[in-house]
Amino acid sequence: MADMQENGIHIEGLRKRYGEGDTAVDALKGVDMRVAPGEVVGLIGPSGSGKSTLLKCLGAVIEPTAGRMTLGSDVIYEDGWKIPDLRALRRDKIGFVFQAPYLIPFLDVTDNVALLPMLAGRSNAESRKRALEILDALDVAHRARAMPSQLSGGEQQRVSIARSLVNHPPVILADEPTAPLDSERALAVIRILNKMARQYNTAIIVVTHDEKIIPTFKRIYHIRDGQTHEEVGEGRAFE
């Protein structure tokens, strides 16, 4: 784990082809990306550029066609999955933050967050303790017993971030996490993600269309026609 936290996520020549023959579509055409621990990078691109496909490949939800993907020192994909239990990989090594918070509506805030460590086999007490620590770090501990429907949009997104962090994964994939939020709350979410990335030494990839948060990234990957181009961002709000 420590090794993973030292190396972050690294992908080389990642390809994804949908379909076969004449109808085949190359969604990713050799993507290279490296995100260091504690770093937050932006992944931007127009619709159909391959953002979601890349995110799904990184999240071990769909299988790439070729390339190499490493998490820390572990190769997780190289012309085939190298990890037998992708479900456990997603649970323990990858955090997800979605466009909408997608909290489980019938679990309170604490249990929404504590569910992941519980699924990983930790005791209920330990899982809840961890959840409360993360919620406290995200300033939503006072809403620990509330149900998701009782939270504001910003609070829900913070709980969602807490859920993604609770197992201390080396990488977090955030899929347009600020889309439903106004500028102030959107910037607050990005600020939190940066803080958490530093605090937990986590590599965070933020997929976004949101013009107001793009200037906050220090590094940005542009994706177009299935290929990425790296550029240096402004890193405005966090200096």
CB 7 within 8 A of CB 17: no
Sign of the C-alpha dihedral, residues 86, 226, 98, 160? positive
Q: How many residues does the chain have?
A: 239
Stretch that binds another protein, among 5-13, 94-102, 198-206, 218-226 (CB under 8 A): 94-102
Strand-strand pairing, 40-44 and 203-207? parallel
Nearest to another protein of 36, 48 (CB atom): 48
107 binding another protein? (CB under 8 A): yes
Site string for another protein, 140-179 (x = CB under 8 A): -------x---------------x-----------xx---
Nearest to another protein of 40, 173 (CB atom): 173
To another protein, the closest distance from the beta carbon of 91 in angstroms equals 2
**Identified binder of another protein from the candidate list 59, 72, 154, 233, rule CB under 8 A:** 59
What are the beta bridge partners of residue 18?
Answer: 25
111 binding another protein? (CB under 8 A): yes
**Identified binder of another protein from the candidate list 53, 70, 178, 194, rule CB under 8 A:** 53
Nearest to another protein of 35, 58 (CB atom): 58
Both tokens of 83, joined, read 């990890």
124 binding another protein? (CB under 8 A): yes
Stretch that binds another protein, among 30-38, 65-73, 99-107, 213-221 (CB under 8 A): 99-107
CB 73 within 8 A of CB 122: no
Nearest to another protein of 56, 222 (CB atom): 56
Residue 234 CA: distances (Å) to CA of 61, 175, 192: 31, 21, 18
Question: Of 62, 52, 20, 30, whose CA–CA distance to 205 is shortest?
Answer: 52
Both tokens of 225, joined, read 């026609």
